[in-house]
């Protein structure tokens, strides 16, 4: 599907739906501060600021929660979706050559029905990989065929943008030694990207990773990889800056680093933003988190090659943080009771061009 057809305009959306400004939070279970801004929605503000979207990751297991979907299924709030799990390799090709799209299609159809941009996530990653990819001990010829078939089937089925390569680098900038690298060396990257381009010439092809959001060894290594790909004529359109940050520790070199990718002729996106804090939540931490979300969104606004901002789920109710980083949480702009936090204001103020 051509990109342009995937979108409704905001004016068309408003004409077709009765909308009112997001109300100020009216109830909260504690004395912690909440958001105060009265806006039509963060995607509305992102579009007005010239970005393609403000979006969120979501997962199939969350979609039976009608309070959750009641807020999310609204183009004014979210203009883009990323499936957290249902397009990963274990979910889509559990046995060699046997593809299951049922769960992924639920998210894709949800995005389509609301005119939201869809980020496919992901094609080639060392985690959530079914055992057969590793235990079958494919030689280089065999694994090349496996990668090509997986990538072309996925990318040919879904549209818009794809994290074709996910997390290929170690933090010290070397290549991660997974089954793909150990069998094919760095060649698995062009193999996957070329298969993706052949399957859908219109999809934006990304490499997505973390700790590349700021100036440093890992970001330099990724830029060097991209220069090699470009020199070899390998299709690469963009870089996904995951952006799983910690309150009070947002990197100070975001803009400088983002500009370096833009200077390579690439687009990029904030793909998995959340900003976790050490629990318990306090008013001071929530205020710092507001500043931190503002800083990240403002960095995207500072570089035109930044296409949009995606949070890694929008409510603390479904955040991956507490189970992955024990003792940490409260990383999202809405709390677990769907009350908007000061972080929401930080995002809104940045998109509105204000300062805090």
Ligand X SMILES: *[C@@H]1O[C@H](CO)[C@@H](O)[C@H](O)[C@H]1NC(C)=O
Task: Give catalytic residue positions.
Answer: 167, 272
3-state helix, strand, coil in the chain (%, to 5): 40, 20, 40
Out of 29, 64, 323, 355, which residue is the one contacting ligand X (CB under 6 A)? Answer: 64
Output the smallest distance, CB 64 to ligand X, in A: 4
The stretch among 57-65, 85-93, 250-258, 264-272 that binds ligand X (CB under 6 A) is 57-65
Output the smallest distance, CB 314 to ligand X, in A: 16
Residue 170 interacting with ligand X (CB under 6 A): yes
**Cβ proximity of 243 and 288 under 8 Å:** no
**Cβ proximity of 239 and 207 under 8 Å:** yes
Out of 174, 182, 252, 304, which residue is the one contacting ligand X (CB under 6 A)? Answer: 174
- Taking the C-alpha atoms of residue 141 and residue 114, their distance in angstroms, rounded to an integer, is 42
Number of residues that bind ligand X (CB under 6 A): 9
Contacts of residue 306, defined as CB under 8 A and 6 or more positions apart, other chains included, come to: 51, 258, 267, 268, 269, 270, 299, 300
Question: In Å, what is the CA distance from 1 to each residue of 29, 110, 160, 201?
Answer: 44, 15, 8, 10
Cβ nearer to ligand X, comparing 142 with 265: 142
Output the smallest distance, CB 70 to ligand X, in A: 12
Site for ligand X in 107-126 (CB under 6 A): none
Cβ nearer to ligand X, comparing 53 with 318: 318
Out of 50, 70, 97, 142, which residue is the one contacting ligand X (CB under 6 A)? Answer: 142
Output the smallest distance, CB 218 to ligand X, in A: 10
Residue 172 interacting with ligand X (CB under 6 A): yes
Cβ nearer to ligand X, comparing 157 with 317: 317
Q: How far apart are the first and last CA of the chain?
A: 40
- Taking the C-alpha atoms of residue 45 and residue 351, their distance in angstroms, rounded to an integer, is 6
Cβ nearer to ligand X, comparing 36 with 174: 174
């Amino acid at each position: 599907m051509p990109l342009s057809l995937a979108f409704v305009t905001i004016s068309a959306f408003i004409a077709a739906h009765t909308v009112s400004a997001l109300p100020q939070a009216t109830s909260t279970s504690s004395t912690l501060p909440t958001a105060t801004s009265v806006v039509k929605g963060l995607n509305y503000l992102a579009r007005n600021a010239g970005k393609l979207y403000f979006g969120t990751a979501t997962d199939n297991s969350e979609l039976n929660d009608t309070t959750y979907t009641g807020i999310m299924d609204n183009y004014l709030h979210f203009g883009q979706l990323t499936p957290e799990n249902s397009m990963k390799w274990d979910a889509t090709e559990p046995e060699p050559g046997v593809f299951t799209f049922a769960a992924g299609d639920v998210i894709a159809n949800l995005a389509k029905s609301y005119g939201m941009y869809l980020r496919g996530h992901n094609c080639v990653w060392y985690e959530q990989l079914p055992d057969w990819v590793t235990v079958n001990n494919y030689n280089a010829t065999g694994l090349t065929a496996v990668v090509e078939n997986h990538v072309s089937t996925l990318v040919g089925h879904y549209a818009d943008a794809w994290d074709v390569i996910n997390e290929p680098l170690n933090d010290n900038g070397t290549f991660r030694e997974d089954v793909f690298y150990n069998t094919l060396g760095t060649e698995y990257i062009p193999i996957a990207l070329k298969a993706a381009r052949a399957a859908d010439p219109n999809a934006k092809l990304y490499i997505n990773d973390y700790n590349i959001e700021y100036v440093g060894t890992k970001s330099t290594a990724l830029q060097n990889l991209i220069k090699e790909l470009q020199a070899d004529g390998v299709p690469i359109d963009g870089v996904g800056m995951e952006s799983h940050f910690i309150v009070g520790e947002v990197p100070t070199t975001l803009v400088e680093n983002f500009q370096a990718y833009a200077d390579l002729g690439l687009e990029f996106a904030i793909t998995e933003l959340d900003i976790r804090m050490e629990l318990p939540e306090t008013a001071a931490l929530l205020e710092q988190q507001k500043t931190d979300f503002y800083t990240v969104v403002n960095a995207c606004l500072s570089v035109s090659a930044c296409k949009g901002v995606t949070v890694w789920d929008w409510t603390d109710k479904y955040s991956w943080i507490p189970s992955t980083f024990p003792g940490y949480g409260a990383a999202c702009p809405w709390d677990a009771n769907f009350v908007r936090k000061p972080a929401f204001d930080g995002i809104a103020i940045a998109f509105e061009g204000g300062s805090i």
